[in-house]
Structure 1
C-alpha cells in the first residue's frame, strides 16, 4: 500500500508536466505570427499595421488597408535547452533504514524539439467604415523530449502541447483617427505527456525489465471558444497608439491515461488505464503599443505585453471512474514583456528593422521543474522587407533568444526509492521567420 500511494503521487506530478514551458516566451506562449513584427522583437506590433498579419495582435488595425491583403508566414524555431545537475538516490527498507545510496548524473543536452510554426491571414474592406478578416495561427505550444537513457525520466520524459486558432474579426472605423475591432477565437489544442522509470532504477525495483517502463502517459484534445478586441488611435499625424486584449481560453482536454505498471501494482492498472480529462487554461494577453514616426525614413516602436498566467493556478484531472484528482498546484505568476524596436525605410524596395525585448518568466523558483524550467529571457532581433512589386513583398527576420540560467530542485519517490535532484537549466534559441504579403 505504501508503494502504491508513493507511485500515485509520482503519477500525479508527472501529469503536471503538460504545462512545460517554451524557451521562447513566458509559460508556453508562442509569438511567431509575423516576420515583419518579429524583426523588431514585436515592439509596437499592435500599433503598426504593415500587412495582414497585424490581425493576430490587433483586429482594429485592419481598417488601415484600402484593398484586400493576404499574408503567409512560417517560423523555424531551433531551441537549445540543456539541463546540468546531479540526483541523489536512496533506497529504504520498511524500517526507514537506507539500504542503498548513490549519486547519478542528471544532465541532458537539447531537450527542446525544433519546430516550424506557420500562420495565415486575410483581410478585406467592406466599405469605407467596415473591414473584416480571418487569421489562422498558434498562441501556445511546446515540445520537450528526454532521451531513454536519462536518469531523471520519472521527473520528465516527453511533453508536447500543440494549439491552433482560427480568428475571424470585424473592425469599424469610428472616425478619421479611431478604429475598433472584435474577433472570435476557435482554438483546437492537443497534448501528450509521459514519464518513465529510469533504466538505472530497474534493478533497484527488482527487475531490469522495469527500466523505461511507462509510469504514465496521457493524451487528449479539445476545442474551445474565446474572443479578442482591439483599438487603434491616430493620436497625432506621426503617432499611433494601440490597445489589444485576447481573453483567456478554457480547455478541457479529453483522452486516455495509460501505465505499464499495472502488472506489478494492480491498483495502478485499475486507476490509470482509462479515459479522463484535464483542465488547461490559456492565459489572457493584453498589449499597449506605440508607433512613433520620426521622419520620412525612421520610426520607433514599443510595447508592453501583460500575460495573465496567474489563471493557471492548478492542474485538476477527472477520470471516467469518477475520481477527481488535484494533480499539482502550479501557481504561475502574471508576466510582462517589454520591447523596443526601430524601423528604417532604406529605399522604396527595402525596409530594415531591429529590436530588443525583455520577457519575464511565469514560474517562480519553488514551482520550477524539469518539465517547467521557465525563466526570464532576452530577445535580440533583426529583419528586413523587400518589395518585389507594388503589391507583393517578402519579410525576413532572425531572433537570438537567451534565457537566464534557472535553478531546479525536485524530490520524488517511486516505492521505496527517493530521488533528490538539483540542476540548472540553460536555454537559448535561434528563430528564422519568412513571410510573403500581397494586396489585390
Structure 2
C-alpha cells in the first residue's frame, strides 16, 4: 500500500509521542520504594539510618552498622487514582467522526518487590547485595480518549542488581561502594492518524541493559548524630526493540528501533539524631540530575523505504530536589512507631508537561510500625499518601491534519501500602 505524504507525517509524529515517561511515586519517574522500614518515615534519614539490610541500597557505607548476616524481603502495593479534565482540547482535523471522550482516567495499580542481603566478612568489611526497581510507571488511558494520539499506555519496568562493600575505618567513620547492572523494559502505545477518520494503534516495545556505580560515606559527627552521604551514578541505557502498527500501516511502517536513554544520577544527604532513649529525628535532602532527560530520539533499524522518519521529541527537564523529615518513637522493647513528611519538586517545566507524565510538585504523608517478633525476625508495615498539585497541560503534537492539542488539568493521588520481613541468620 503506497503511503501519502499526509500519512507519512502523521505516522512519524505519532511515534515521537511514545516517550519514556509517566506518573511515579517520586518526582519524574523515579521510585523510592526499596524498603518498608524507610517508607514509614517518608524515606527521611535513608542514607544514615542503616537499620537493616536495605542499607546496602540506600548507602553502602551504612552497612557497617550491621553485625550479623541479614536478609530483607519487601513489597509495595501502589494504587494510583488520576484523571485528566478537558479544558478545550482539540483532536486531529482528520478525525471529525471520532474526536474522543473528554475525560481520560489514567490511574493504575502496581506491585514493587525488593530484596536485600548483608553478610559481614569481619569487623571491618561487609558485603551487600540488592535487587531493586529504581525507575518505573504504569499509566493507562482509555483507548478512545481525546488525547489518544499523544499517549494511551505507558508501562516502564526496571530491575537493578547491586552488589556492594562497606569498610569501617573506626567507630566514627565508614565508606562503601557498589556496582549496578540495570535492565529497563518499556512498552508504550498511542493512536496514529492514517487518513480521514482512520487510525491505527501504534506500539513501541524495547529493552536494554546499562551499568553504573554507587558510593557513600557515613560519620558519627556527635555522640547523638550521624550523617550519611550517598551518590548513585547516571546509567545510559541502549534500548533495542520494535514499533508495530495495527491495520494497513503494518506492511510498511513496522520496523526495529533503537534509542539511548540516560537515567539520572542522584545525591542524598541524610541525618539521624537520637533526641533521647525514646525518640529519633531523621532528615534527608536528595538532588536528582533530571537534566539527563532533554530529548527522546528513536532511530529505525532495517526499515523499508516507505517507513516514516521519527521526529525528535523535546523534554528539557531540569534538576530537582526532594526533602523529607521523620521521627521514630520507641513504644516498647519490641515496637517502634514511625511518621514522616516529604516534599518533591517536579523536574518537568510547565511548558513541556505531557499526557504521559503530568508531573507536578507533591507532598507525601507517611506512617509506619516496626515489630520485633524475636531476636532474628522483624516485621515492618507502612502506609504513604501521595498528594500531587494539579498539573496544567498544554501540549501540541503532530502536524497538518494529524495535529492534536491537549489542554486541561490532570489531578489525583496515590496510596502506597508497604511491608517487609527482616531476618538475621
Residue matched to 2:6: 3
CA RMSD across the alignment: 2.2
Residue matched to 2:34: 33
Residue matched to 2:339: 354
How many residues were matched structurally?
417
Are the equivalent residues in 1 in contact too, given 2:99–2:146 (CA < 8 A)?
no
Instruction: Tell me the SS of whatever aligns to 1:416.
Output: helix
Residue matched to 2:271: 290
Residue matched to 2:226: 240
Residue matched to 1:96: none
Matches of 1:178 and 1:305, distance apart in 2: 21
1:307-346 correspondence to structure 2 within 5 Å: 307-321=288-302, 325-346=310-331
Matches of 1:87 and 1:301, distance apart in 2: 45
Counterpart among 8, 13, 23 of residue 16 in structure 2: 13
1:6-155 correspondence to structure 2 within 5 Å: 6-15=9-18, 17-22=19-24, 24-85=25-86, 86-89=88-91, 91=93, 105-109=101-105, 111-155=106-150
**Distance of aligned partners of 1:90 and 1:60 in 2 relative to their CA distance in 1, 3 Å threshold:** closer
**Distance of aligned partners of 1:103 and 1:221 in 2 relative to their CA distance in 1, 3 Å threshold:** closer
Matches of 1:206 and 1:134, distance apart in 2: 55
Instruction: Tell me the SS of whatever aligns to 1:45.
Output: coil
Residue matched to 2:243: 257
Instruction: Tell me the SS of whatever aligns to 2:117.
Output: strand
Matches of 1:412 and 1:28, distance apart in 2: 22
Alpha-carbon deviations, 1:81-107, whole Å to 9, x = none? 111114234638xxxxxx979986431
Comparing 314-323 with 288-297, greater Cα deviation is found at 314-323
Matches of 2:37 and 2:92, distance apart in 1: 53
Residue matched to 1:280: 261
Long gaps (5+) in structure 2: none
Residue matched to 1:187: 182
**Distance of aligned partners of 1:42 and 1:388 in 2 relative to their CA distance in 1, 3 Å threshold:** same
Residue matched to 1:422: 407
**Distance of aligned partners of 1:183 and 1:346 in 2 relative to their CA distance in 1, 3 Å threshold:** same
Alpha-carbon deviations, 1:347-367, whole Å to 9, x = none? 001000100000011111111
Are the equivalent residues in 2 in contact too, given 1:314–1:326 (CA < 8 A)?
no
Alpha-carbon deviations, 1:221-275, whole Å to 9, x = none? 11111100011101111101000000001001101111236x36xxx853x4111
Are the equivalent residues in 1 in contact too, given 2:372–2:379 (CA < 8 A)?
yes
Instruction: Tell me the SS of whatever aligns to 2:259.
Output: strand
Instruction: Tell me the SS of whatever aligns to 2:64.
Output: helix
> 1:55 Cα deviation (Å)?
1.4
Scaled by the length of structure 1, what TM-score is found? Answer: 0.90
**Distance of aligned partners of 1:156 and 1:128 in 2 relative to their CA distance in 1, 3 Å threshold:** same
> 1:158 Cα deviation (Å)?
0.7
